[in-house]
Structure 1
Amino acid sequence: KKKINCSEVAAAVRKNFPEITWVSARIEGTRLILNIQEGIIPQKTNSNTSPCNLLADKDGVITDMIVRRGIPVKKPGDSCKKGELLVSGELHIMNDSQEVLRKEYVHADADIFISRQISYYQEFPLKYRTEIPAGKKKKEMYFRFGHWYLGLYPTLHTGQKRITEEIPLRITENFILPVWIGWTETTDYTIKEETYTRKEAEKEAVRRFHQYEKKLLQNGIKISENHITTRLTESLCITGGTLLIIEQTGEKSRIT
């Protein structure tokens, strides 16, 4: 406790965590207590304003386009190829006779979404291993003093699982002793080989597809149409087909 400088601790927290706007540190009993207040970090804006176009980075069909800066070359419903110009950063300044007086260049900015088709394939074996509890659960108690343990529970062997729970001993709310009382619960188990029924296999295939869909959503990709089927062989459950997805596109290409 004598080596702790609360002011230095608070300053170090503010330095290492910019999102924390206010910190106070104090010692109570055997605890160092930090009170913090978090602020909202402003999003970093792209300061690059050099002239550029927006190009398609994948083949697809444009479903939605919101242009904030630049001239749209494509519109919703149009197909596009990878590398094709979508929004131009070149502006034509016209006179009353619709003649080009001069050209100006801007940093093209737009939200563009396309739909495209991708393949989906997933397989898993119909046979799997499961753990079956065997025998009664064994409960033991032990004490821990710092890094030293005092207990009578045996070493964990293959075919056993152990759950441990510890509670620190304290005199008051803030005066915690370096002593813990713990409980263990040891369970024996055996490995049994099971085989999915058709209904179970189809349910597992759906679960795995939902996991895949969740990963797509985390990357900003949405599935709009699903054309997949599931079939069973002697040893495998196979799911495959195509998906129609919607994702954002628009790769910046500098205008020189």
Structure 2
Amino acid sequence: MLLSIIKFFRGFVCVRLSGYAPERFLNLCGNRDIVIWNLERDGDDYEFYISVQAFRTLRPIAKKTRTKLVVKKRFGFPFWLHRYRRRKLFFGGILLFFLILILLSQFIWNIEINGNSYITDETVLAYLKEQDLSFGTPKKKIDAEKLEESFRMAFDDVIWTSVKISGTKMTIDLQENIKNKERERPNDGKAYDIIAEKDAVIDTVITRQGAPQITAGTQVKKGDVLILGRLEILGDGGEVTNYQYCVSDADITGVTTYPYEDSFPLAYEKKVPTGDVKKQYAISAFGYYLFIPSLSHGYEHAEKYTSEYQIHICSDFYLPFYFETNEYREYVPEDGIYKESEAKELAASHLLTYLEKLREKDVQIIQKNVMIEIDEKNCRASGNITVKEKIGTYAPTEVLAVPAPEIPADEGINTQ
């Protein structure tokens, strides 16, 4: 590939060799290290390809061997340049095009975000915009190391960041602290209890540090202390002589109940497609749009589907130009009413969506007790969902005064 590019820019020709001793001509070329390629015999003659620079050295050899050289075809940039030498506007346009490319290459026109799960792309892009490091930012203004550090400072869930700039593309790789999405242990030197985040029945307790106040099966209310961050130090007689404070550490799961309510009307607007479709194309740059054709689709009711493609020269060299396709699908609105089976199916799909959102929060579904009722106008789904989840959160431990030591009566002071 590289050799072909070099050949193109240097220029080469296809030559026909004829005469008295063509074989001797070829031997002399080999002795003088003159490179030829694609050598083919055509009767008594030969055809081959040779660079323009090497072709200029062939005249003495041809004269010595009494052979004749005829150029059949010319290839490469020098000949193309000679052919269009009088078209000044054409070459001026090419020069302007490359100058614009060089100018645009100094900015960021595409941002790719990888590794994010809880933090959305929109959140990251909004943060970059606040920092004036969004689309169209000069590359020299972006300090990758500082931007990586600022991401970790701005987002508590981000534990690792990598910012790479290649061409006009900035790639941001994130790693989130998904494992500790629940709660991070306080690290400010103070003592902390673990308290109940909501009403629950304790399912499992694994205590690593602190004094457990509950066992499996205990009914707790929101705010009840589950693990106490204050340990009692007892004397020989079983009395409290001091306290030791710590940051409680435990894995606690509880069985909780989520109330579920959902309703929707049975009457709805039904979109009946007519099958008629129109497309509109647009080219956008720097927020401005040019629509082709510029006329409206003319439909009274239509659904719009848009696809967008950013123009780029290679995988990392993006330009601030977009090609957009808008597809309008005409439909006729009609009044519709859900059948009982359709309404129940839609209510069930709403419930499944709700359960999926709970599972995303690391909640284990134990039981679903939801009833679907349908009257003349509405469909209602209501009930309770029993789940198992982590319920502990941190709260500062109450610091108590150290009890004063008791003095036995027989050791009192004798005043006689």
Aligned with 1:17: secondary structure?
helix
Instruction: Look up the equivalent residue of 1:138 and give its one-letter code.
Output: K
Rounded Cα–Cα distance in structure 2 between residues aligned with 1:186 and 1:208: 28
* Residue equivalent to 1:50: 190
Matching residue within 11, 17, 23 for 2:148: 17
Q: Aligned runs of 1:99-110 on 2, under 5 Å?
A: 100-110=240-250
Deviations 1:44-69, CA, capped at 9 Å, x for gaps: 76423411222223222101112121
Residues 168-217 of structure 1: CA deviation (Å, up to 9, x unaligned): 778x6488888776655332211112211111111111111111112222
Partner of 1:8: 140
Q: Aligned to 2:219, which of 71, 79, 86?
A: 79
Residue 136 and residue 254 in structure 1: after superposition, are their counterparts in 2 closer, same or farther (change >3 A)?
A: same
Instruction: Answer whether contact 1:10 1:23 (CA < 8 A) is retained.
Output: no
Task: Give 3-state SS (helix, strand or coil) of 1:8's partner.
Answer: helix
Larger gyration radius, structure 1 or structure 2: 2
Q: State the match for 1:29 in structure 2.
A: none
Structure 1 position 131, deviation (Å): 1.3
Counterpart of 1:222? 364
Over aligned residue pairs, what C-alpha RMSD do you find? Answer: 3.5
Go from structure 1 to structure 2 and tell me whether the alpha carbon gap of 1:129 and 1:254 turns closer, same or farther (over 3 Å shift): same
- Give deviations 1:24-75, integer Å, cap 9, x for gaps: 544xxxxx245x5847577876423411222223222101112121011110
Q: Does 1:128 align with 2:128?
A: no
Out of 288, 311, 329, the position equivalent to 1:187 is 329
Q: Closer, same or farther in 2 for the Cα pair 1:197/1:253, shift >3 Å?
A: same
| Distance in 2, Cα, partners of 1:237 & 1:114 | 32
Match of 1:60 in 2: 200
Query: Structure 1 residues 118 and 95, CA, compared in 2 at 3 Å: closer, same or farther?
Result: same
Does the 8 A contact of 1:14 with 1:20 survive in 2? Answer: no
- For normalisation by structure 1, the TM-score amounts to 0.77
CA contact (8 A) 2:169 2:317 kept: no
* Runs of at least 5 residues in structure 1 that lack an aligned partner in the other structure: 27-31
Paired residues in the alignment total: 247
| One-letter amino acid matched to 1:254 | T
Is 2:268–2:336's contact at 8 Å kept on the other side of the alignment?
yes
Q: 1:222 to 1:160 in 2, by over 3 A?
A: same
CA distance in structure 1 between the aligned counterparts of 2:162 and 2:365, rounded to whole angstroms: 40
| In structure 2, distance between residues paired with 1:165 and 1:144 | 12
| Structure 1 residues 7 and 45: CA distance shift in structure 2, 3 A | farther
Deviation of the 1:114 alpha carbon: 1.7
CA distance in 2, matches of 1:206, 1:91: 50
Whose RCO is larger (CA < 8 A, sep 6+)?
Answer: 1
In structure 2, the CA distance between the partners of 1:213 and 1:168, relative to structure 1 (3 Å rule), is closer
Paired amino acid for 1:69? Q
Once the two structures are superposed, the pairs formed by residues 71-220 of structure 1 within 5 Å of their partners are 71-94=211-234, 100-139=240-279, 142=281, 144=283, 146=285, 147=288, 149=290, 151-152=292-293, 154-156=295-297, 157-165=299-307, 173=314, 184-220=326-362
**C-alpha distance in 1 between matches for 2:203 and 2:262:** 28
Question: Which consecutive unaligned segments of at least 5 residues does structure 2 have?
Answer: 1-101, 108-137, 150-159, 400-416
Alpha-carbon separation, structure 2, partners of 1:224 and 1:235: 32
The structure with the largest strand share of the pair is 1
The percentage of aligned residue pairs carrying the same residue is 23
User: What is residue 253 of structure 1 aligned with on the other side?
Assistant: 396
- Give the whole-Å Cα distance in 1 for the aligned partners of 2:251 and 2:329: 56
